[in-house]
Structure 1
Amino acid sequence: MDDLRTDRLTLRPVSPADHEPLLALMSWPEVARMTGSWPIPADRDFALERCQRIDPARGFVFGLWRGSEMVGQMGILEGEIGYAVAPPHWGQGYATEAAQVLLDRAFATYGWGEVVGGVWLDNPASMRVLQKLGFENRPDTVGFCKARGETLLSRRFALTRARYDSLRIGAA
């Protein structure tokens, strides 16, 4: 899978060479606690596992790079989007910018009728990212957060292919 570019970012498929930058990203407790699967403290072996190439039939995961710095990671696997951005880069629009490119790739590549995403209720910034992209609310669910060691309520969102197409046409 090729690198992708936005005006400010290079999106590069993750590889084992990204192990240390990913570990650094996920070592921010405020980042790990917003995921479902990362432990606190971040685990080196888990980071290496997360840097393995993904079966392209399942989707993709990219590191978000600004120059030589990994500012985040984002993927769409089996129709579900997930992302993390380092706190020094919060509020700069990187997640929205990268997601637009990855949604373009996902809908052009896969036959998914929708892409979904879940956000813990105490993460309004991530909710705003999905809403800006055109995702619509779905019923809340619960999920286990490994970093917090507890089950939490998750706000669910979905972007259907039809809505995505209509938004892209309206943007042209």
Structure 2
Amino acid sequence: MKNNELSITCPTCGKLNVIGSKRCSNCGRPLPAQKQWEGQQHRPLSKRVVGVIITIAAVLAIGLLGLIIQHNQVLSYTIFVNNAPQKVIFYDTHRRPVRTLYLIGDRRKKTADGVQGTLVIARRIKVDKDYRDLKPVRYVDSRQRGLLKIQSDPVMEFYYPSRHGKLKSNGQCKIVGHPEIKYFSWQGTSGGTTK
């Protein structure tokens, strides 16, 4: 047995005393009773405390997993175009709406830098419309570079407001040959079908 297992520390002066002593051999102050001391040493955690600890650990683990997934997920504007047509509204320098287009996904693939693929551009959406008669155009969508570039005629560039964090549905843009257009908002639609 260890020496401190056969002794009790005085709460006043810190001197080790023989278990069972009623007073400290150094300062003479009363020592805690042996049963009280043993109860403090070997008190098990209650089921409620264990449950709280497990719950907190689980919440922290889920939060950490969510951060890891969000950090590794490719968040881009065009990730949604293969699920439903995406409505894009263009605005002038005074934030007045100028033009509305719909982007419908054709093909896409994830790359190390983001997403690239093809899509078609429509001026209006009709429910259950087949868009195979529209010519697909290429795009490169890289949140790391902060840019979605659609190789249409004219070329369209959408700039990400932030390269990190939550994906915002609006920002600045540029359409070649249309200097009056400066901003855009990106909205999902429930109508229409993809190719």
Given the two structures, how large is their TM-score scaled by the length of structure 1? Answer: 0.28
Greater RCO structure (CA 8 Å; 6+ sep): 1
More helix by percentage? 1
Structure of greater Rg: 2
